[in-house]
Amino acid sequence: PCAGVPRVDGVIVMEVRREDNRVGHLAEAGFPFVAIGRNLRADAAGWVDLDFAGLASACVQHLADLGHRRIAFVNRSERLFYSGYGFARLGDEGYTEAMTKLGLTPRAYLCDDDIVSGQEVVERILRDDPATTSLVTQNEAALEGLYRGLTRHGRSVPRDFSVVGVAASPWAEQVSPPLTAADIPAKEMSRVAVDLLVERLRSPGSDPRRVLMKPLIALRASTGRCRPVPGSEPEPEFPDFDLDF
């Protein structure tokens, strides 16, 4: 405020944590706001967000449909994850739940947002399980490093190794081969946030709206049918049959 007069009529809050003092203060003050991202306090004012859990689950299912069974998950940094950023936690939850439902072993990795960290996480993934054939990522900034790390290990994308993710289209399209991904609609989310705030300012007594977006996976060139790693033992598959005794 300036001399007791607010400088703005409303606020759009971004990068919302599960526990977020900004959201709490605005809600308690009754100041008009909407959030890009969500937590329980943001429900009082309305929000727009991506269904990160659902998108991570859809990425796992896409790879499983291609025959992949050893699927790793590359998340955002340790700092973001443990700071309570919703997208990092929700992505992990969606991946883990999808893997568990498919009867597969989840292996999730935190990764800093840079190329070198992307290379290093590939080292960890293949050290932990050299038979890994695919990964899901929502770490755009590490994407080029993931590709470099796979190349260093002789894994060609998508012939030997498939990669799918949640990423803004400029990131997905600048790597080679282009990333099959659920494209983050950043401009659309911003537009919706503005619309929600205008609605709130015009009708302050109306129920807040919540918009959860789940974009479709755009098929590009980074995923393909599973080709078992030479020398690795495939996970056993047990066909359904009846036994008569």
205-226 pLDDT per residue, tens: 899 999 999 999 999 999 999 9
Of the two residues 13 and 44, the one the predictor is more confident about is 13
Query: DSSP readout, the chain?
Result: -BTTB-S-S-EEE-S-BSS-HHHHHHHHHT--EEEES--TGGGGT-EEEE-HHHHHHHHHHHHHHTT---EEEE-S-HHHHHTTBHHHHHHHHHHHHHHHHTT---EEE---SSHHHHHHHHHHHHHH-TT--EEEE--GGGHHHHHHHHHHTTPPTTTT-EEEEEE-HHHHHHSSSPPEEEE--HHHHHHHHHHHHHHHHH-TTSPPPEEEE-PPEEP-SS-----PPTTPPPPP---------
Residue 39 is predicted with a pLDDT of: 78
Residue 36 is predicted with a pLDDT of: 93
What are the pLDDT digits (tens) for 223-240? 999 997 776 654 444 444
Q: Is residue 244 over pLDDT 50?
A: no
Q: What is the mean pLDDT of the chain?
A: 90
20, amino acid identity = D
- Taking residues 58-78, what's their average pLDDT? 98
- Taking residues 107-124, what's their average pLDDT? 98
Q: Is residue 3 over pLDDT 50?
A: no
Residue 69 is predicted with a pLDDT of: 98
Residue 43 is predicted with a pLDDT of: 77
Q: Is residue 85 over pLDDT 90?
A: no
Percentage of residues of the chain with pLDDT beyond 90: 75
Tell the CATH superfamily of the 51-184 domain. Response regulator (3.40.50.2300)
Q: Is residue 51 over pLDDT 60?
A: yes
Q: Is residue 106 over pLDDT 70?
A: yes
Domain boundaries, the chain: 11-49+185-213, 51-184
pLDDT band at residue 1 under the 50/70/90 scheme: very low
Residue 231 is predicted with a pLDDT of: 64
Of the two residues 241 and 128, the one the predictor is more confident about is 128
